[in-house]
Each structure stands twice: as C-alpha cells, then as structure tokens.
Structure 1
Amino acid sequence: MEHTLSHAAHHEPESPIPQWPDERWWKKFGSPELNRLMDIALADNPGLKVASARLRAAHALVRVEGARLLPFLEADAELTAERISEHGVFAALNPEVGGISIALGLVNPLSFRWELDFWGKNRAMLESALGRAMARDAERADVRLLLTTAVARSYFRGVSLRQQLEVVDAMVALRRDLLKLAKIRFRLGLDDATSVMRATAELETANKREAGTREQLDFQKYLLVRLIGHGPDWGHDLFADTALIPRRIPLPEELPIGLLARRPDLAAAKYRAEAAAKLIKVAKTRFLPTIDLTGFVGFRALTLASGYGALPGLLFSGSSLAYGGGPGLRLPWFEGGRLRGELQAQRAEYDAAVELYNDTLLEAMREVADSLSVWHETRAMLEAHRRLLTSVSDDWRLIQVRFRSGLDDRREVLKQRHAVLKQEFALKALEADQLVAMVGLIEALGGGVPVSESASVNRLKTKSKLYESPSR
C-alpha cells in the first residue's frame, strides 16, 4: 500500500498529464445517430439509474455521520399519573406515602447532548463515509463508462453488419446472374449440368450468408435497444448513419500511468481502501473513554392526584424551573474480546481492500497494454486488407477491359466482381474491429474521467504519437 495509494497521492508530476481521451469521446466518431443513442442511454438505462440511487444513499449516510460532530438539540415532555405501592421502596422508607396517587409533569423545551470527539472517532467515521460516497460516485462513473463503451461497440458492429448486408445483397444478385448464364450455356450445349449445379450451390451459399448477416444485425439491434433501456419494438431504423474512422486520432507519444487515475474502477478501489483505513482508527478509539456533555432547561412539577387541575399552573410557574448539565464519561473495562475482535476485523477488511486496489491496478495496466496491442494489430490488418482490395479491384478492371475487347466472356467479369465483393465484405468487419479497438483503449484509460493533477507519471510507451489512418 505504501507504494500504491500513498505514492500516487503525493508524488509530484514531472510533466502535465495529457487530457486523452475526451469525456464525451464518442463525438470524435462524427456520427449524429451514435450521439443520439448515447444521450438516450445515459438518460434511460436502468443500471445507471440504480447506480445513481446508490450514490444518493451514500451521500445521505455522509450527512448522518457528519451529524455526530455536532450537538444534538431536542425537546421532550412527559405527564405521568402513578399510585405508590404500599409495599414498595417509598412506602418502606415513609409508610405515610404508601397508597397515594401522584401526578408528575415534565417539560424540557431545550435539552442537548454532545459527544466530545477528543480521539477523532466521529471525524474518522465521517471521513470513512465520505470515502464510501466517493467510491459510489466512481462506481457510477464505471457503470457509465461500461454502458457508453458497450453502446459504441454494439453500434459499430451494427453499422458494419448493415454495410455487409448491402454487400451480401449484391453478391446474391451476382450469383443469380451467374446461375442464369450457366442455365443458358447448358441449354445451348456449351456446358454440362455440373456447371448449373455448381452455380446453384454457390447461390445457396450466398443466401445462407445473407441470412446469417441479417440475423447478426437483428441481434445487435436487440442488444443496443436493451443497453439504452427501451423495449424490443423500439429502434427499427437503427444503423441508418455511417460511423467513420477519424482520420486523425490524437494518441499521446507516451501514456503516463497517471492516466489510469481516470479509471473509475481503480478510483473506487482506492477510495474504499482509504475508507477502510479510517475504520481502523474508529475501532482503536473504542478502547478509549467516551466523554459526553449533556444539559437541559425546563419545568418540573409533582402533585397529588386530587390536584390534577392545578398541575398546569404549577408546572409553568417560575418556581418549577429546572436546569442542569455536566460531563459524563464511559470507559470499557471488559467487553469479552469484542473490541479487539472488531479491530482485527477492520484490519482484515483494510488488507483486503488494499489487495483489491493492487489487483485492480495490475489488471488496468494489462488492459491498457492489451488494448494498445489490439489497436496497432487491427490498424495493420486493415491497411493490409485495403492493399489487397486495391489489387483485386485492379484485376477486376483489367478483366473488364479484356471483356470489352472480346478476350473474356461475361462470366469472368462476374466472378472477379464477386471476388471484389468478398474482400469488401471482409473489409467492413475489419473496419468495425478497428473502431471497437479504439473503444477498447478508451475504456482501458477510463473514458475521459478528469484526472488528478498529482497523479504518478510512470509511463507506458506507445508505438506512435499520432495514429493516422489511410485515406478511405
């Protein structure tokens, strides 16, 4: 813990932490439809509403714990009618009072009690409650981050599938043309039935691919609708927009480890560890004396039962005024080991919170490294596939020239066009992978939550200062 929480809190930065990514990072993708879906999700998602309710409850508990530092002021009143037992203590001391009935009136318009916080117990409880509230705030931010990244991933997959569906429709139409040509050549005796059977099988394969793509698109629509908090009948016109890979993604040359302070899960683990540390102090102070200051100002009167009617006048007379106050002390001598057990339990909870923080930190660093790797891998694959598509498209244009020159028939043009469409289909999936990889890195770095200026600046190296995708 000494080299995690404390070091991160007090180490002075060597250079400013870059503000990357932006808090509303999804606007960088330039999709009005995605922006609209994000606004709906942040307003209507049930999970985010639950996290907000938990945060409000944590803030209310802060007020409860903060009240312990202040004196409690209250008023009370009491009216009691009582018959003194002839065999009770009072009758034993004075037999003349046995069997009589009395009326007691008590009104305290102002009484107070105040636990003097000499040992810092109540302040530590308040600081622990503040830590838990900040952890709840971070957990809500984590829910928001997971929600927005899940929406972005589902949206990008959906846009890609919609584009793939358009490509598959063209592939099906092309296979139908090839089947027609095969049937014409079979009727003219230029080919045997095998060519017709092969063309039919290829058409059915294309139909199967179309059905599979449409099913995946429907699944992404259902997933996205659930994420934004609406029913399955909503969003029939989804994925009408086009999300573009931004030409320039400003990735810093070095990613300071201080950027991990943006991660809500790491912040929540840190706050919970600090809150657990305060509860250790609370457990220690329970071994020390508790000092209270109490006081009251009011009226008190007692009369025989036969004088009930005179009680109000007697009670509120000046001679019935009563007041008092003074300190009180309570010191636990023997609790059967309860206090020591509570202290050991709080120390164990603190150790668990520290290890959770350390584990979360290591997992965060691993996720950032993995996300950077996927970012660069998908970028390389996308660039390579674009070069492949360019080559296949050049072949198709060459075959078109040969067809117009009478050197090839129309079948070769259609087959090469199918090869181009096949590569375009794969390209759409790779473009979605690149967008999803960007979202993964944004999520690993906390999604733009503001970072503390005193965060540590140990660095994770990236491969390039600025990612610039090729022209589309």
Structure 2
Amino acid sequence: MLTDARVRTGIDEPSQSDQAADRLAQARQLSAQLTGNSALDRVQLAALAGVSPADLDWLQAGALPQPDTRLPPDARLGLIARRPDIAAARWRIEAARQQIDRARAAYYPDVSLLGLGGYLSVDPSLGSGVRIHGPMGTIGPSISLPLFESGRLKAQVNSAQAALDTTVAAYNAAIVKAAHEIAQQIAYLAQQRGERQQQAARIEAISRSDQRLRDQYQHGLVDARTLLNDQLQLNRLRDTELSLQGQLLNTQLQMIHALGGGYLATELPALPSAAKETAR
C-alpha cells in the first residue's frame, strides 16, 4: 500500500495510514452492502416469478437503461381515466344513475290494463284515493298503485339522488388526488433532470482534470497520491450519477403508475352507457 510505504520511510505520519485503512474499510463495507442488495433483489424477483432464487442464477448485472422523462406534447390529464380507481369511480357513478332510473320508474308500474279494467268493474271506487288490496277472483293478486305511495317513492328517488351525489363527490376527490400525484411526479422529474445535468457537468470537468493529472504524472510532475485522489473523486461522482439515474427511473415508473399506464391514451375504458350505444 502506497500510504504504508510512505509511513515506513518517514515521509508521512502514521495517522495517514490509519485514515487510508478507514477509507478502504468503508469501500469494502459499501461493496458488501451492494452485494447483499443484489441478492435481496434476486430473492424478490424469484418470489414474483414463482421460482426458486437458484433458477435466476443466469441473471447478470447490467447497465441501467436511460430514462425517457420527456412528456409527449399531446399528453393530457384525461390519461388518468385508465387508473383503476378512476375507472371504478366512473362505473359507480353509472350504477348510481341506474338506481335513480329504477326509482323513478316505480312511479309508472307495469299494470295490465285488462286486469285494471276487471278491478274497475268490480269496485268502481278504485281511483278515489283508497288503496285497494285483496284477490279478485281470476283477476290475480292485489294491486297497489304507486300513485298513492308518492311519499315512499319520492324518498327512494331522493335516496338514490343522494347516493349519486356522494359517488360524484368521491369521483371528484379521486380526480383531485390523481392530479396531485401527477403534478408531484412532474415536479420530481424536473428537479432530478436538473440535478443530473449538473452532475454530468461536474463529471466532465473532473474527467478533464484527471486527464491532465495523468499527463503530469507520466512526466513526474505529481505523485501517485494526487492522481489516485482525483480518480477517487471521479468515481464518487459517477456513483452519484448512477444513483440519480436510478431515481429518475423510479420517478418515471411512479409517473406511469399515477397515469394508470404509460403516456399514450390508446384505449380508454368505456362506461356501460357508451357500451350500450356501441352495441346498438
């Protein structure tokens, strides 16, 4: 070790050797941590695939893909219609509307006119405001006209309307939540793009410095420690750049999740009413 040799010859203090040993231990600790994280990722992938971790021994570490964080110019908030929570909320609204239609339909019962005529021939008082019940020969079971139960029917309609209002409010809340998540991810993308650009500028500057130090070292103008320290700084910057790249990829995935899948709205879920119109 270069530092140990300088300490033995009396050029450097023994503390320099201790500091170098500490940095070496930190590097080895980081290497062990990365190895452990890789093994944990392999176990998690095996669980998702339903196989043994040994079946994934063929997996090899590779370079991270370059994240494409640019949003298409035609991207609109309507893309969130593909989100499961938004689609489910839209279908609940349609179901609530159907409930209102059924409640209103109760005002107009499907009564056989022949049967009603039979009742009128037996009891002309039908329609006087008295509710008529009881079997009437072969005419059939009792008839209960909803015209005389307007209070109960009105309550049913009001209840269905209240359910629709509640469902619409929940839908609006889901839209606001989704819009907030998307806006947050867009802000993260902009921030991380800026950080990565500045990191790339730093790496470029240190790389130029490293090349000059290499030339100086070959001509004996600087010692090896200066060159090694510069290379260590360059490697740290590259590690940070990889971390930023990973954060960008994660933010891109979060954006896809917030939008319900990708940036292109090629096919949106149809409401039941729209499906009926198509079927017609």
Task: Give the TM-score normalised by the residue count of structure 2.
Answer: 0.72
1:260 and 2:73 are equivalent in the alignment: no
1:450 and 2:266 are equivalent in the alignment: yes
Deviations 1:262-313 (A, max 9, x none): 3332222111111112112223444654558xxxxxxxxxxxxxxxxxxxxx
Give the aligned length: 242
- 1: CA distance between counterparts of 2:104 and 2:139? 26
CA contact (8 A) 1:375 1:441 kept: no
Aligned counterpart, 1:390: 204
**Which range moved further: 189-198 or 206-215?**
206-215
1:351 and 2:161 are equivalent in the alignment: no
CA-atom RMSD, angstroms?
3.4
1:216 and 2:37 are equivalent in the alignment: yes
CA contact (8 A) 1:289 1:331 kept: no
Over 3 Å counting, the alpha-carbon distance change for 1:346 and 1:236 in structure 2 is farther
Aligned counterpart, 1:313: none
Over 3 Å counting, the alpha-carbon distance change for 1:278 and 1:199 in structure 2 is same
Q: What does 1:387-426 correspond to in 2, within 5 Å?
A: 387-426=201-240
Task: Give the TM-score normalised by the residue count of structure 1.
Answer: 0.45
Aligned counterpart, 2:3: 182
Shift of 1:372: 1.8
- 2: CA distance between counterparts of 1:389 and 1:290? 80
**Which range moved further: 401-410 or 337-346?**
337-346
- 1: CA distance between counterparts of 2:266 and 2:20? 59
1:331 and 2:144 are equivalent in the alignment: yes
Aligned counterpart, 1:191: 12
Over 3 Å counting, the alpha-carbon distance change for 1:286 and 1:194 in structure 2 is same
Q: Percent identity?
A: 26
Shift of 1:338: 7.7
Query: Larger strand proportion, structure 1 or 2?
Result: 1
Deviations 1:102-134 (A, max 9, x none): xxxxxxxxxxxxxxxxxxxxxxxxxxxxxxxxx
- 1: CA distance between counterparts of 2:9 and 2:231? 25
CA contact (8 A) 1:375 1:437 kept: yes
Q: What does 1:41-440 correspond to in 2, within 5 Å?
A: 180-230=1-51, 234-238=55-59, 240-245=61-66, 251-286=71-106, 289=109, 291=111, 330-331=143-144, 343=157, 345-440=159-254
Aligned counterpart, 2:122: none
- 2: CA distance between counterparts of 1:384 and 1:218? 32
CA contact (8 A) 1:289 1:330 kept: no
Over 3 Å counting, the alpha-carbon distance change for 1:441 and 1:197 in structure 2 is same
Over 3 Å counting, the alpha-carbon distance change for 1:329 and 1:446 in structure 2 is farther
Over 3 Å counting, the alpha-carbon distance change for 1:249 and 1:210 in structure 2 is closer
The SS at the match of 1:350 is helix
The SS at the match of 1:255 is coil
CA contact (8 A) 1:225 1:235 kept: yes
Q: What runs of 5+ residues in structure 2 fail to find an aligned partner? A: 113-137, 271-280
Query: Larger helix proportion, structure 1 or 2?
Result: 2
CA contact (8 A) 2:203 2:234 kept: yes
CA contact (8 A) 2:87 2:269 kept: no
Shift of 1:245: 1.3
Shift of 1:352: 2.3
- 1: CA distance between counterparts of 2:269 and 2:90? 16
Aligned counterpart, 2:121: none
